[in-house]
Structure 1
Amino acid sequence: MKGTSELGRGLPLTRLYRPARLSGGLTSITKQHLTSLCSSCILRTLVKPPLPSRRLSGGRKARRSPIAMASTPKAAGSKTKVHVLFVCLGNICRSPTAEAVFRSVVERAGLQDQIVIDSCGTGGGNPDWYKEKGWAYHEGDPSDQRMLAAAAKRSVCLTSRSRPLRPEDMGTFEYILGMDFENNATIQVAADHWLARGKHIPSNYRQKVQLMCKYLNPDGGFKGIMEVPDPYYGGAKGFELVLDLLEDACTGLLQHIQEHDLHSRAAQVV
C-alpha cells in the first residue's frame, strides 16, 4: 500500500493544506452544517483573528501568526496527569480530530481531570518550520471545513487552532502520537535539531513518539492498518475513514492509559 505521505508530493508547497472558502471569508460549513455544530465550533469557524502574512514566490501568501502566538502549549497542568499530544502535518485535519475524538472518549469515561489533551503539526509543508526563524503553514487557523463537517455529523466538535510542535512539547507530553510514519520521522528530526542547539529535550523522547494506529483494536476491522491516511486530497469518504480509525484508536488509547498510567499513579498516591 502506498504511504500516505506520498499524496501531496510533486505539488508546490503553497498548495498544501489550502481549504477553499466562499466569498466573504465564510466557509461552506457555515451554510451546510450550521445546525449540527456546537456554538464553540461555529465561533471558531466564523471568527478568525487577523494574522500577518508572508509573501511567497508567485505572489501567493502563506499565513503566519505573530510571535506572540508562540507561547506555552495549550496543554498545561500538573505532572500527576497524563499528557497526550496528537500530531499530523498541518494540524487542520487528522490531529485536531484525534484531539476532539479522544477528548469526547475521555469525558465519557469521566477522566477529563486526569488527562491533558492537545494537538499540533509539523509545519504544514514548510521543511524549515522547526529551525530558528522558521514558521508553519496554517498556524492559528481552524480545522479544515470538510473535516469540521464530517466530525459534526458524529457530534464531534473541533475547536482547536493549528500550531506547530515546539521543543517544550517533548518534555510535557508522555504520549506523542503521529498519524503516519512521515509525521514521526519529522518529529524526531526536529527534536534532534533542538537537542543539538541546547534545547531541553528529554533523553527518552524517542520512546514517546508512536503511531496512532498502534492503539487500533487488533481484532477489529482495521487489522494491519498502520497509518491514518491524509484525507486532504481525497473525497468525503477519506474524512469518514479518518473518523472511523480515530474512534477505534482513541478507545484503545484510553484503555492503555487506564491500565498503564492511571492505575499505577493511583497506587503510588495510596
Structure 2
Amino acid sequence: MASLKALKIRIGSVKSTQKITKAMKMVAAAKLRRAQEAAVAGRPYAERLEAVMSSLAAKVTVSENSPKLLAGTGKNQVHLIVVATSERGLAGAFNTNIVRAARAKAVELEAAGKTVKFYLAGKKGRVLRRFYPKQILHDQEVGHIKNVAFTDAQIVAQDLIARFEAGEFDVAHLFFAKFRSALVQEPTGIQIIPVPLAPAPAVAPVGAQAAVEYEPDEETILADLLPRNVGIQIFRAMLENAASEQGSRMTAMDNATRNAGDMINKLTVLYNRTRQAAITTELIEIIAGAEAL
C-alpha cells in the first residue's frame, strides 16, 4: 500500500494536470468559434468550384492543347496522397483518423498494383515514415502558420502542381478532417489532380442541355481556373482541419479534466482510508501497551 506522503504527492500532481487540461479546454473553445466560422464560410465556394470544374472536365473535349491539370498525364500508375494534419498533439484521435484513412487508401491502391507516394503537410503526419520510409515524396513545413490564409495554401498548391508537371506522380488525393461538430470530425479524401470527372446522373435530364460558350476560349479559362481550384481545395482542407483540431482538442481536454477529477476522488478516498488505518493501528498499539502495563 502506498504511503500517505506518496498519495498526497500524487493527488497534488493530478490536480496540477487537471488545471492544465482545463485551461487547454478553455483555450480550444475560444479558438473553435472563429475556426468554425471560417471553415463553414469557405465550404460553399470550395464545393461549388469543385463541382463546376468536374462538370467542365466532363464536357470539354480533351486534346493535346488541354491543360495538364485537366487531361492528366495519360497514365494512372503513380498516386500521391497528400496528408494534411496538425503540428500539435493532445487533440484526441484527430490526427490518427486522418492518417488511418490515408493508409487505408494506400493499401487499396497498392492492392490494385499502383505506386503510392506521400506528401506530408503537418508534423503529426510524419508517423507515416514508420510504415512508408521510402515513399515520402516531401514533408511540407507548416508550423509557422498561425492563422490559415489562402497564400499558405497557394504555396502547397504551387509545389504540387510543379511536381505534377515534372512527372513525379499521375494522380493526387488530399486527406483532411471535415468539421461536423466539436464531437465529430470526419476524415475525408478527395482527388485534386487531375480534376475528377463529374458522375453521370442516374436519370437523364429532360429538355435540351444548356450551351456553354467560352470567352476568350476554354483553354485560357481553364488554365486559370484549374490551378486556382487546387489552391482552393487545399485552403478548404486547412480551414476544415483548423476547426476540427480545436473541436477535437476541446473534447479531449474535457474528457481528460473529467478523468483527472475521478482519479482525484479515488486517490482522496484511498488517502483517507490509509490515514484512518494508520490512526487505528497507532491507537491499537497504545491500548495494547497500556494493557500490558
TM range (shorter): under 0.3
Larger gyration radius, structure 1 or structure 2: 2
TM-score computed with the length of structure 1 as normaliser: 0.27
TM-score computed with the length of structure 2 as normaliser: 0.26
- Larger fraction in helix: 2
Q: Larger RCO: Structure 1 or Structure 2 (Cα < 8 Å, ≥ 6 residues apart)?
A: 2
